[in-house]
Chains A and B, each alone.
Chain A
Amino acid sequence: MERLWRVIPVVVTAFAAAFIGWMIQMLRLSWTRNDSWGFTVTVASVVIPIFLVFVWLAVYVMWGIAREGLRENRPGDPAPPRPRPGGTP
């Protein structure tokens, strides 16, 4: 079941990569056809960094939380503090 924790970060990363790939395809199309290059660069330069933030979110936040959850479960570790799901640290 713990492996399923990785599904959501992987899905988010894959979707962001697909969208960035689409933007790169738009840039390539625009460049090869010499068609609305300025618009394409402008839109891509705004959107690609936003999707990179989503990748960061998937890797740092979601994967990090899942890794922390797994670490607590590792056998031989000292007993974790009483779980307080939803509680404040």
Chain B
Amino acid sequence: MEPSNEFDELFEEMKDVERSREAKQNTWLSLKSRIEAKRKRNIFPAFIALAIVAIASFLFLTFSNPSETEQSAEPLSNEEVIRAVLEIEYNGPDRELLRLMNDWMKLQSETVTNNQEEYDQLLESKEYKDYINYYPATFGEYFSEGVLASLINANLVFKYDHHLEDAGIEMHLENVEIKQEKDHPNIYRPIIEVSLTNSEGQKIYHTLREEFIFSTSEPGKIGSYNGVKDGGGLELQQKIKYFNTYVVNDEDVKTPSIDVSFDTLCFNGRTPDQQGKVEFKSGCTSDTNQIQPIMTRIDNLFVKETTEQETRERGELLPEIENYQIYLTNEADKGTTLYTITLYEDGILVFAPDSNIGIVGDITTKPHVFLYEEIKLMLDEFADNE
């Protein structure tokens, strides 16, 4: 029998997938309510727009002159303030902002202004006020006086929304890890993980850092909000703009092939401090309760073969940045390494058979910074010199 039709009968049987009418109807009802909720968010009737202006104006005035009620309310912690700003900045595009901006642009293009007086009159329009009030209504409570205006002028808030709209991409804040500077408690440099999704559901991820400096004169308010040099903000813009080139080709993606039999996991960790002094940690365990959670976290990651460039870059990074190397071996013969997994501080993992310095092998297709921190804690639990 030809291979092309030998299995036709069995394939035919596999087509028979049962689905109850009730389940189908329930799925439709859930879908319908989600669609309706989205429509309501998108359609802003005039009275809602008016209400927004009223609320925005109220908030603006309120934050300029804090009331007694507000003064007595529980203030947000610095971490909560950072999280709130990131939620707004990294979930988008904000359709309401885009709608208000388009209305204002449309009015400007449709109205001829011959002199400054006429333009000043335009600045009194509802469209302009709605647009400009949206910023303090959204971000006002988190920034100290005067800071938000300078951020708006420098396009440092709502900085990705136009790019997202142009590219037809949705951004979602996946994870935030907020780190406070040890020596400067007012400075925080959060690590932010976002996902980008196109209309066909293809998704990519990106990790970046930003910097928040809290005001000393107005505690709990942000006095400065910056991207960190080389923090990944520009790369995020590139990923939004050229989304398709960053979509991982499923063909090239696989999970690590850790095809060895082992009963012991050992590690060496290299952790430089801020003065450049390096601390080394190491340890071994044969306890499956300690090994299993670590392996479960790392052996389902998506990896591809390292390129020459990546190998070169990793070779330079290895003695520079914090890293942990995990060695799989056997209790009876710890001298023989069967498999090596190298975890870099930037969240990249390299998988290689045998004893390997950690630059050649299969490399993760995206950074896993949170996973790195998680595994580091697990390893530190059985470090000999902890």
Query: Are A and B physically bound partners?
Result: no
- Residues of chain B whose beta carbon lies under 8 Å from any beta carbon of chain A: none
- Residues of chain A whose beta carbon lies under 8 Å from any beta carbon of chain B: none
